Amino acid sequence: MMLDHYVTLGRSGLRVSPFALGAMTFGEDPGSAGCSVEESEKILAAYLDRGGNFVDTANFYSNGHSEKILGDFFAAHPGRRQHVVLASKFFGNMFPGDPNGGGAGRSSIIAQLDETLRRLQTEYLDLYWLHNWDRSTPIEETMRTLDDLVRAGKIRYIGFSNTPAWVTAQAQTMALLKGWTPLIALQVEYSLLARTVEGELAPFARDQGISLVPWSPLKNGFLSGKYRRDAQVTDSARAAYVGGPTDDEYVVIDAVAAIADELGTTSAAVSLAWLRARQGTVVPIVGARRREHLEINLVALEVTLTPEQLQGLDEVSAPTLDYPAPMHGAQRAMLQFAGATVDGEASAVYPPLLQSTVRY
């Protein structure tokens, strides 16, 4: 399977590749753990040549250098920009001491977008993400501003990243009721080692027909196959920033490695294939510091896990979800259906009903 087997992003007419290319690693600026301009362009070219069309960045990645690298590349290759779904994010403040330099207020969104478009050398973005929740700005101000920018032709679609479920639901409901531009995708942390999104945001996204676009699908490289028990990782630039896996995480890592060995593939491919098999439309973001890293990740396009393998990974990586999520499983079915099977979901009988009958 190539990257040109596209999927529709949310309730929209936007078609994207099954993997997005993350450009957070583009640029060698301090603190970025990224790669050179030359290597960044090789990675981007390899992704596009395989049919990839979904490229994701943010205003403050590599202090703006990531966006500039992308802009310079597309300027040097006329005609390619119009065939790419180019996404960036706002929120990060790049101006120390300026309280309006970032966030999600009207003036700051407009200013951040103008700077992003300048660096990217483009007149519009295909997708613009809110990168984080701005607690000090009313969500209606953010949503109205984004709708105005869509109507002005400066952005085409919008999405949220790293926002609480209740804020996201409020924003989406407001947009639908007011006729503003709705969300089509949520960029969230999601992997076999980070599944708490399944408590609130993932069910909300399925209900609303919103796609999930997972960042860090290999959990800082822990699921890449580099990390093994009692082995030293020597070729990871991020190791100094993220440390190493915990004992509980190694249980999942071991299970992934066992399936990878069984299939004759990589741990990265198994981990990404598991994500793509989740309910709804899930489009993982794959990042790379070298072109070979990208090629390794794209092997996942050829991997299909069996129901038994998926179940095994589900069980070994099962997350502990916050209340009220634990109330929505078997206990809910027991109380609601009382032993009946509804929509294919079987339930037990609530124990007190076994010893009594309804008397009132």
Which domains are seen in the chain, by residue range? 7-316 (3.20.20.100), 329-360 (no CATH)
**pLDDT tens column, 77-100:** 999 999 999 999 999 999 999 999
Compute the distance between CA of residue 336 and CA of residue 330 in angstroms, rounded to an integer: 10
Better-scored residue on pLDDT, 283 or 231: 283
Q: What pLDDT score was predicted for residue 44?
A: 98
What is the dihedral sign for C-alpha 76, 154, 168, 59? positive
Residue 356 pLDDT greater than 80, yes or no: no
Nearest to 20 by CA among 54, 48, 47: 54
For residue 55, the cross-strand partners are 21, 86
Residue 239 pLDDT greater than 70, yes or no: no
Judge whether 108 and 91 are in contact, CB under 8 Å.
no
Report the percentage of the chain scoring pLDDT > 90: 82
Nearest to 172 by CA among 135, 227, 209: 209
Compute the distance between CA of residue 211 and CA of residue 214 in angstroms, rounded to an integer: 10
Q: What pLDDT score was predicted for residue 32?
A: 74
Of the candidate ranges 18-27, 159-168, 169-178, 222-231, the one whose mean pLDDT is the lowest: 222-231
Across the range 263-279, mean pLDDT stands at 97
Radius of gyration of the chain (CA): 22
Question: Band of the pLDDT at 29, cuts 50, 70, 90?
Answer: confident
For residue 85, the cross-strand partners are 54
For residue 183, the cross-strand partners are 158
User: Which residue out of 6, 47, 61, 350 is catalytically annotated?
Assistant: 61
Q: What pLDDT score was predicted for residue 2?
A: 83
Nearest to 255 by CA among 245, 270, 265: 270
Question: Band of the pLDDT at 325, cuts 50, 70, 90?
Answer: confident
C-alpha 152: how far from chain center:
27
Residue 241 pLDDT greater than 70, yes or no: no
**pLDDT tens column, 115-129:** 999 999 999 999 999
pTM: 0.92
**pLDDT tens column, 194-231:** 999 999 999 999 999 999 999 999 999 999 999 888 77
Question: Band of the pLDDT at 21, cuts 50, 70, 90?
Answer: very high
Question: Band of the pLDDT at 326, cuts 50, 70, 90?
Answer: confident
Report the percentage of the chain scoring pLDDT > 70: 93
In the residue annotation, 350 being an active-site residue is answered as no
Task: Report the SS3 class of residue 66.
Answer: helix
Across the range 324-348, mean pLDDT stands at 80
Helices (H) and strands (E) in the chain, counts: 13, 10
HSE-up of residue 256 (Cα within 13 Å, Cβ side):
29
Across the range 268-297, mean pLDDT stands at 96
Question: Band of the pLDDT at 191, cuts 50, 70, 90?
Answer: very high
Residue 1 pLDDT greater than 80, yes or no: no
Q: 309-339 b/e with 16+ CB inside 10 Å = b? A: bbebbeeebeeebeeeeeeeeeeebbeebee
Question: Band of the pLDDT at 150, cuts 50, 70, 90?
Answer: very high
